[in-house]
A and B are shown apart, each in its own frame.
Chain A
Amino acid sequence: MAVMWSRLTCIGLLSRGQRNLSIFSNPSPSYWNKVVSDAEKIVGYPTSFMSLRCLLSDELSNVAMHVRKLVGTKHPLLNTARGFVYESRNNLQMRGLVVLLMSKAAGPSPAASEQLLPDMVSGIYPSQRNLAEITELIHTAFLVHRGIVNLKEWTNSDGPLKDMQFGNKMAVLSGDFLLANACTGLAQLNNTKVVELISSAIGDLVQGIYHENSNSTEESNLTVASWEDQTFLSHGALLAKSCQAAMELAKHDKEAQTLAFQYGKHLALGHKVNSDLQPFVKRGTDPVPFSLDSAPVVFHRQIVGPERWLQQLQQVKTITRQMDHTKLWEAIKSEKGVSQAVDLCCYHGNKALEAIKRFPPSEARSALENIACAVTKF
């Protein structure tokens, strides 16, 4: 306990003054939080202590000690570490929670023997709890690996290169550590189909993240269809395949597996479009920074066509070659990109609802319905 306490305090030291930093922002927090905390009650206890074991390990206490040296530098690992402490409730455990709810909603397999039932806690098999945790470990590992800095792009004005090298080292090691724990956890599930499925989700995640930042250049011709494919890889595959794997662990049939996959996929895509829309739907006239990869921008580009888009980009370039987000934000808001993205968000939310409604009615199913609805609320 003492170890964890000291680690939390030392990460806490880093976060002073930056409490509101979020990894990805949430839709209307109060409604979302209510849906999530209601859902957490349904699954009994939320985790299987795998992440606690990770957190208490010598390796991660080592990292925590070293990360302290990064205070005051600009390495992204710092923000990620802050996120672990301050955002863990709402964001980081979301995927695990959905996997647990899905397990409970599907219930024990019709083919399962009576003897297996006593193993279930709150209607969830221990292996499914482990799977939920593994999903979180993988997600967290890639949050960390996303924050690796390319040293050649680093200029001296950004700060000392040595700090960045050190930050990278820590980020590589801690991400690898989480992934390795996910691998051994997967092996212990004793189901090679699940190992294959989740390993393929890791591959998808890598492919999605690999191209995450390469589209922000003006030259790329990103269509809405290819945007969706890529967003599935980077944001949907892990949840979809984990939901499917939860069905496989309880020996549910192909149909249940497909439905669980569909729910996970559409929920994740809906959630992504929703958070992409936040800068454009928030009340108030102050523009909020947004990514050029986000759904409303991709729709906007498709609407105005490549030539006018390039023109608009040229117009907002200031003398310093920095983007003037305000003008672009206004240009995007004046077109139909935002409303089309809202439609897309609702489409995915409804698809998720459609899939989950095919399961028998239960408390867990209603919670999953509520989550799917929350994704379409702004």
Chain B
Amino acid sequence: MALPSRYCWRWRASVTGFIETLTGVSGRPIFIAAAYLRRPGAKACLEYKIPVIGRAVPLNTVSSPVTRHRSRFLYHTPRVCCCRIHSDAKLKDPFTLVQNDLKNLYEDIKKELLVPKAELKALCDYYFDGKGKAFRPMIVVLMARACNIHSNKEGNLLPAQRSIAMISEMIHTASLVHDDVIDGADTRRGKTTINEMWGERKAILAGDFILSAASMALARIGNTTVVSVLSQVIEDLVRGEFMQLGSKENENERFKHYLEKTFKKTASLIANSCKAVSILVNSDPEIHEIAYQYGKNVGIAFQLVDDVLDFTSCANHLGKPSAADLRLGLATGPVLFACQQFPELHAMIMRRFSFDGDVDRAWQYVLESDGVEQTNYLARRYCKEAIRQISRLRPSAERDALIRLTELVLARDK
């Protein structure tokens, strides 16, 4: 894992500090690349490495070696792992393992959305068209079965656990619908967004309706602890969205703020859904914590990779235009890391890339820097922690699928 020696970590100590706090009680702190934090003379190198970038330079013509290097770094390594695991007959693909449990997932969700009037029904059903990845329900079902086996039960999925899988997808979708209004997005998963088709007012109401249906389904499980755990998610989602409104002047705080926002907006749903299915089968708080920590670490890694893909994936891949985050004024992992090498980014982050050419220039800086590699590296650390946590459960096909899932999270390119 040799990396070019142009790292400059002015805030090393605090970075490890806040990651320690983020990994929580039972998690060991994740140390970011301690090896290359200690490079003497890094600052000196930095000075002459800063390229002078003109505003009009088209992105695809410059730094193609960097791009090539990055893509190898990004996709090659995980693929090697995948091959090794594929050859291992004992390990099943996570998708095949949950296929049966999730067969009618979207149909069942639509049954929960009871609306007599046709138009509102159409809006609510719009994203439950079976074309989503059902990433969250998959984790939830695997976690449920892994916990069941660990608890000396048969591996069978409890009906309430399957409900949690549905509810997690519903809460996720409701938040997407609202996010699209807030961001003014016009496409999502290759479809025109609800706000673009029916207007903002109806889109918000549809999101509210999906949330109320999720909340009813949750209450029907009849477990007050589970209700509390998933209500926390709804609060975290809104607080995360609020955190996105502001940026911090201080760089240390800014990174902490970013990771906290990432937890609230993405990881909380996965972590708490995992916790909920473990509560339903086992009363041991230690098991709940394992489930929660796995979900939290995978969730953060998932979002970090997502933030990287915003820079590296081409426009139609992710279903949204590249550098969408920059256009929205958001500084994600790659930019925050790049800011270490190119302090010019600081001012742009503070003005939320609002000046003409800011987005292009920032993108350029990120591609010139090691921001993408650093963010990927951080994602890998979170996945390692997730694996360490889940390995404490008794071995099962589902547990191993959860381990394998972390590799898929890192390797995904869309």
Q: Which residues of A contact B (CB under 8 A)?
A: 58-59, 62, 66, 142, 145, 148-153, 165, 168-169, 172-173, 175-177, 179-181, 183-184, 186-188, 190-193, 195-196, 199-200, 202-203, 206-207, 209-211
Contacts and interface: CB of A to CB of B under 8 A. Distances in A.
A191 B245 CA distance: 35
10 contacts: A145-B205, A148-B181, A172-B204, A173-B245, A175-B204, A179-B208, A190-B224, A192-B221, A192-B224, A199-B216
B200 A193 contact: no
Given A172-B181, A207-B116, 8 more contacts: A62-B245, A149-B201, A151-B199, A169-B181, A172-B204, A186-B215, A187-B227, A199-B213
Q: Which of A153, A181, A192, A206 has the most CB of B within 10 A?
A: A206
A203 B204 contact: no
A148 B215 contact: no
B231 A184 contact: yes
Given A169-B182, A193-B219, A187 B231 contact: yes
Given A173-B182, A187-B231, A168 B200 contact: yes
A187 B227 CA distance: 6
B199 A150 contact: yes
Interface string B214-227: 01101111111001
Contact of A206 (B119, B205, B220, B232): B205
B208 A172 contact: no
B230 to A, nearest CB: 8
B209 interface: yes
Contacts of B228: 184, 187-188
Contacts of A59: 238-239, 242
Contacts of B238: 59, 173, 176-177, 180
Given A192-B224, A207-B117, A183 B208 contact: no
A165 B184 contact: yes
Given A169-B182, A206-B205, A191 B242 contact: no
Interface in B153-212: 178, 181-182, 184, 199-202, 204-205, 208-209, 211-212
Contacts of B202: 210
Q: Which of A168, A184, A203, A207 has the most CB of B within 10 A?
A: A203
Contacts of A177: 238, 242
Contact of A207 (B209, B211, B242): B209
B253 to A, nearest CB: 14
Q: Which of B116, B201, B223, B245 has the most CB of A within 10 A?
A: B201
Interface string B74-114: 00000000000000000000000000000000000000001
B281 interface: no
Contacts of A187: 224, 227-228, 231-232
Nearest to B213: A203
A180 B200 contact: no
Contacts of B220: 192, 196
Interface in B14-50: none
B115 interface: yes
A18 B414 CA distance: 51
B411 interface: no
Q: Which of A66, A142, A172, A211 has the most CB of B within 10 A?
A: A172
Contacts of A207: 115-117, 120, 209
A192 B219 contact: yes
B234 interface: yes
Q: Which of A62, A193, A196, A209 has the most CB of B within 10 A?
A: A196
Grouping DSSP codes into helix (H, G, I), strand (E, B) and loop, the A interface class, with mixed when no group exceeds half, is helix
B235 interface: yes
Contacts of A148: 181, 200-201, 204
A184 B232 CA distance: 6
A180 B200 CA distance: 20
B335 interface: no
Contacts of B237: 176, 180
Contacts of B51: none
Interface in B366-406: none
A225 to B, nearest CB: 15
A325 to B, nearest CB: 24
B235 A184 contact: yes
Contact of B208 (A149, A152, A165, A202): A202
A192 B227 contact: yes
Contact of A183 (B223, B224, B234): B234
Contact of B231 (A145, A169, A186, A196): A186
B224 A191 contact: yes
Q: Which of B184, B213, B231 has the most CB of A within 10 A?
A: B231
Given A180-B238, A192-B219, A203-B216, A210 B205 contact: yes
Nearest to A188: B228
A150 B204 CA distance: 11
Given A177-B238, A195-B219, A202-B212, A62 B204 contact: no
Instruction: Return the 10 tightest CB-CB contacts between A and B, nearest first.
Output: A196-B219, A150-B199, A199-B215, A195-B219, A187-B231, A202-B212, A203-B212, A187-B228, A206-B209, A199-B216
B242 A209 contact: no
Contacts of B184: 151, 165
B184 to A, nearest CB: 6
A180 B246 CA distance: 20
Given A149-B200, A195-B218, A195-B219, A180 B227 contact: no
Nearest to B221: A192
Nearest to B242: A59
Contact of A192 (B209, B212, B223, B242): B223
A2 to B, nearest CB: 20
Contacts of B201: 148-150
B222 A184 contact: no
Contacts of B245: 62, 66, 173
B407 interface: no
A207 B235 CA distance: 23
Contacts of A191: 224
Contacts of A58: 242
A210 B120 contact: yes
A183 B215 contact: yes
A203 B242 contact: no
A220 B114 CA distance: 23
Q: Which of A59, A148, A149, A153 has the most CB of B within 10 A?
A: A148
Q: Which of B221, B227, B232 has the most CB of A within 10 A?
A: B227
B241 interface: yes
Contact of A176 (B115, B178, B221, B227): B178
A148 B216 CA distance: 25
Contacts of B116: 207
Contact of A211 (B117, B221, B231, B246): B117
Nearest to A168: B200
A145 B204 contact: yes
Contacts of A183: 215, 231, 234-235
A187 B235 CA distance: 12
A169 B205 CA distance: 14
